[in-house]
Chain A
Amino acid sequence: MTTLIEAPPSDADGLLPSKKKSSGGGLGTYILIRFFLIIPTIFILVTLVFFLMRVIGDPITAAQGGRLPPEALAQRIHDAGYDRPILIQYLEYVGQVATGNFGTTITDRRPVVEMLATFGAATLELAINALIVALLVGIPLGLLAAYKRDKAPDAVLRFFAILCYATPVFFAGLLMKLTFSVWLGWLPVAGRASTRTELAMGSLAAPTGIYWLDALRSGNMAALGDIGAHSILPAVTLGLLTAGVFLRLVRTNVIGTLGKDYVEAGRSRGVSNFRLVTKHAYKPALIPIITVMGLQIALLLGGAVLTESTFEWKGLGYQLVQYLNSRDFVAVQGIVVLLAVIVAITNFIVDVVAALIDPRVRY
């Protein structure tokens, strides 16, 4: 019966709407269209954030209302142009963002771009550290879980993965602080480095802002050790959150490829189970893993905000909360737009990779 239904494909094609023919366009067109879709994505978020922030009032009243006499406040609002119609302000803001000018923060009067560069480096450092932890933990354990499918180790590992997801990063951070900093006294409680190291890093000629890279470049080994000690807990905290996701991904994908015919063929030729998992099933399974990994960037950034607040890691997330609390919406807008750009570009890359691998993705 089944063969009969599958046999005449021309019939089935006739029934389908003309979708197949009209959406022919090749990979190049797809990438081009997808690239131009980044712009509306960023545009929508910029618009959303701008208007949401203005619903509350103008940034200067929000930040300094009550602290300045009314005349001075009105003067500052007028100087900054916040008394003009909102649409004109919006168009001006979009124009500024398009040219890379994000304005000046209200509370500490710094150019937003400079602020983003400073704190962005710290967040980047944290994200890289966390990603390393996540990969080191997630991939081997995922392979192990797939290898021992439905046995005790698999059950334990799957439970571990769910636990990683179920534990809020700030609670994981709190437990780590309690255990390793307070009770065992092995690691520092908070911060990116001790004051001495911070000073040494600040006085470098051309710092990248990523502390361990700077320490390596200047050959300051004492500082490197100090930075390492400070980095472990935040990196593990944020890394475990993502590690759970990686573990599950690797496990399901490897199990998926283990069922393929060529793996079966390998098994029938006597290839060992271990080798089947690590060589034959692992590599093809990597492709979907890489694409999904790209999508984890949003999770990682969201987690970074919480991790930074937990460990007083002075990055974008920590700073975002500070600026939100002092109602400095110019700075908040800058941070949110930067994160939107990062996420949009990552998603674009992920989509292109996915399209390269799987032609069905293109539309």
Chain B
Amino acid sequence: MNATTVSGRKQPLLYRLPVISHFRTSVGLQRGMLVTGLVLAVLFLLTAALAPIIAPYGFAQLSDASGTFPAQQPPSPAHIWGTTVSGYDVFSRVIWGAQTAFVVIIVAVVMSIFLGVALGLLSGYFGGWLDRTLVVIADAIYAFPSLLLAIVMSIVINHGQSSFWGGILACSISISVVFVPQYFRVIRAETIRLKAEPYVESAKVVGASSVRIMGRHIFKNATRTLPLIFTLNASEAILTLAGLGFLGFGIEPSSAAEWGYDLNKAIADASSGIWWTGVYPGTAIVLTVLGLTLVGESMNDLNDPRLRGRKKAGSKVPAGGPGSTAGAQAALEAEARMP
């Protein structure tokens, strides 16, 4: 009796929050990955928030009190990471770029989550023609190279001209068109799986309404993976944004700093040995995506008891026996979703 009361007590809210609970259950290498990811992610957030304080110049600033900035200047005390071909300060643009990336991630992912989750639940739970239709449309969009879709969308929304918010919104919509089918797929698959679970059956037997089953029994379990997908999609959003910028369909350099655009200009510089215009914004992308992916990856592993490292890993062999196949299957599915 005593034992049940102890294990039955809920942990304080703080320890049940996604990232914190993951941290507490992690050990060794996994904790290392999670911490590295968190440090990078926090660094990114701080840079985005404090950009006006950190950056010595504005993202579109071409001159200061001492005159016009020289073009393609190697790193120097005045411009610690050098200047670009148009005369922008590389360091300032990299810092401001974090802010742009952050805003785009939030807008794009929030839009896609709302739409994707709602459609996925409906489609998976009710099935029938609604499901078939939505699946065909989602598959058509999902199967298509996401970058191409984003390019087409941004051309339609942008028409070339773009203010800060116009550009951000265009990029976010372009990206969320790509993401909605992904959320839809994941949530629908989970819903279909959960629909056959005994506890949903029993809820039906006792007469719970569809809305209640969907909203309470299925939603809570199907969205178990959402923090994970969020981090993964956030990193994909950064890559898509950079890809759009690189191809010249992103945000104008005078409206916002954007890493992809800077890299586009840097490709031509590279041939003449100018490295500082490309290496810094590129590294910023890599570190941000790396941080978010490491957090997502660790959360994925820690959610799965079979992949979770134990305090004392006695056996090198993954635990076999009954039930292991289901766990492994879930892990594989989560893995397959990753890219």
Contact = CB atoms under 8 A, between A and B. Distances in A.
B267 A170 contact: yes
B155 interface: yes
B29 A150 contact: yes
Contacts of A52: 152-153, 156
Interface residues of B, number: 65
Contacts of A256: 328-329, 331-332
A150 B338 contact: no
B319 A309 contact: no
Interface string A270-282: 0000000000000
Interface string A249-266: 100110110111100100
Interface string A165-195: 1111011011101100111000001100000
B258 interface: no
A325 interface: yes
B309 interface: yes
Given A52-B153, A163-B286, A168-B285, A45 B273 contact: no
A100 B117 CA distance: 38
A259 B319 contact: yes
B271 A189 contact: yes
Contacts of A45: 140-141, 144
Nearest to A288: B332
A166 B293 contact: yes
Given A150-B309, A344-B143, A166 B286 contact: yes
B148 A259 contact: no
A45, A150, A253, A321 pick with most chain B CB within 10 angstroms: A150
B289 interface: yes
Contacts of A230: none
Contacts of B264: 170
A16 B196 contact: yes
Interface in A281-332: 288, 292, 296, 298-299, 301-302, 305-306, 309-310, 320-321, 324-325, 332
Given A41-B140, A166-B289, A343-B144, A174 B335 contact: no
Interface in A1-21: 15-16
B65 interface: no
Contacts of B335: 248-249, 252
A256 B304 CA distance: 13
A40 interface: yes
A347 interface: yes
A245 B286 contact: no
B173 to A, nearest CB: 12
Interface stretch (B4-12, B220-228, B274-282): B274-282
A150 B235 contact: no
A183 B274 CA distance: 11
Nearest to B301: A158
A163 B331 CA distance: 21
Contacts of B273: 178, 182-183
Nearest to A162: B293
In the A-B complex, list the 3 residue pairs whose CB atoms are closest, starting with the nearest: A171-B282, A302-B145, A166-B289
Interface of A: 15-16, 37, 40-42, 44-45, 48-49, 52-53, 55-56, 149-150, 155, 162-163, 165-168, 170-171, 173-175, 177-178, 181-183, 189-190, 245, 248-249, 252-253, 255-256, 258-261, 264, 267, 288, 292, 296, 298-299, 301-302, 305-306, 309-310, 320-321, 324-325, 332, 336, 339-340, 343-344, 347
18 contacts: A16-B196, A41-B139, A44-B137, A48-B141, A162-B293, A167-B285, A167-B286, A168-B260, A168-B285, A170-B246, A174-B263, A178-B278, A181-B271, A182-B271, A182-B272, A190-B271, A261-B320, A320-B148
Given A162-B290, A165-B339, A264-B317, 19 more contacts: A41-B143, A52-B153, A53-B152, A165-B289, A166-B290, A168-B260, A174-B279, A175-B282, A255-B318, A258-B318, A259-B328, A261-B320, A298-B143, A299-B339, A302-B148, A306-B243, A309-B246, A339-B145, A344-B140
